[in-house]
Structure 1
């Protein structure tokens, strides 16, 4: 029954996988997909591994991932479906993912987020003043902390003030997300606490990889490492079904 598997081979399976994923990962710079299998494994309904290497992927909320690499092992598939070019999982598959984010791309997301925020009314020198956050910048520090800086404009006199805070992110014990372990308000603490706190939620969404939504795939952060200008995330990857095209 499987005498034609040699003709199918890794090359054909790779092409099928790459075309399917290309339709789901449209906004990217580069995409490479590698499926490893052989006729004997495929006859038993198994792909040895699937590696997805994507550069410059744009996900929800305009977050750009410098790179994302997903490796899944021992993928159970229907050999009969595979013969017809349909990669259909018979059970969920698990593996690992590595994500690299650059501070310039995080800054872009945070800066876009402030466009959705309205003016705030706060009390300065016993007067109610309208202020708005005009600019946000993210710096990833060697200390493992994240520095968020902003510029606030007073609407009454057009004066600008600098605000900033520094956070130390940690993975919560359940592994389900990121918590902010420490917050230190630096410049203009009162203004910083009012205007920059909403930006923290955007930052947590990025660290939780909630922006990565691809049909059939899931990512859960396991650990991360912050170095000057870059954030490396290691995650558990899961696939319930292969994307259709």
Structure 2
């Protein structure tokens, strides 16, 4: 295979994108970029397709993606930059993305220092009295059938009482495809108020804001959700404005 082989050129440009993505995330267990074109198209500034596959990518708020896959159609790039081993888009390109989050990874993020700050010192009214609540523990289960189940233990500071609650909900697409909202189906527990349930779910959905998954230069809009047993599958439309670089 010659030094000017199209396969070698594709591999070199693919490696540039892999290094760029890796440099901008906290943790990357595996990343693979498959850029496909040929010398004739490359001279004209055309890349036939780009496929990005990753495993164990940790993004904002200590949120780990079990897998992510992004696929583009034809991409327009600056051919001169490509000759020097860089990929600069001449205009944004559309893509499709599929992200898988496991129950375990969501719960790890839910117990992170970031979420600790969000779930402690919550101010609200209970039976007409102002109270301060600390969520001591919260656990998300994904039982399947497109449902979320939450169990939480919380401390009411004023009375020093520890209480428990549980609730089930279904996820919905919200905020123009940026965020997941939850429709509560049932809730039960001691000292339970609808406001308390909503506060916990609001913090969970804030964690699942798709903007938390954006790789620099790549934005996502939610298209479909699948809450399967043990995992959440997110299908999204993606727009790539800039290829990740070091």
Q: Same fold (TM over 0.5)?
A: yes
1:51 maps to 2:54: no
Query: Is contact 2:142-2:231 (8 Å) kept?
Result: yes
Which residue matches 1:221?
A: 222
**Unpaired segments ≥5 residues, structure 2:** none
1:21-60 aligned within 5 A: 21-60=21-60
- Residue 178 (structure 1) aligned to one of 160, 177, 180: 180
Note the C-alpha offset of 1:121. Answer: 6.5
Distance 1:174 1:118, change over 3 A: closer
Query: Is contact 1:56-1:66 (8 Å) kept?
Result: yes
- TM-score, with structure 1 as normaliser: 0.86
Determine helix, strand or coil for the equivalent of 2:243. coil
Equivalenced residue count is 240
Query: Is contact 1:133-1:152 (8 Å) kept?
Result: yes
- TM-score, with structure 2 as normaliser: 0.85
Which residue matches 1:20?
A: 20
Which residue matches 1:244?
A: 245
Note the C-alpha offset of 1:47. Answer: 0.9
Distance 1:127 1:90, change over 3 A: closer
1:117-196 aligned within 5 A: 117-118=120-121, 120=123, 123=126, 131-155=133-157, 158-172=160-174, 174-188=176-190, 190-196=191-197
CA RMSD of aligned residues (A): 2.6
Which residue matches 2:199?
A: 198
Query: Is contact 1:163-1:192 (8 Å) kept?
Result: no
**Unpaired segments ≥5 residues, structure 1:** none
Moved more, 35-44 or 146-155: 146-155
1:77-92 aligned within 5 A: 77-92=77-92
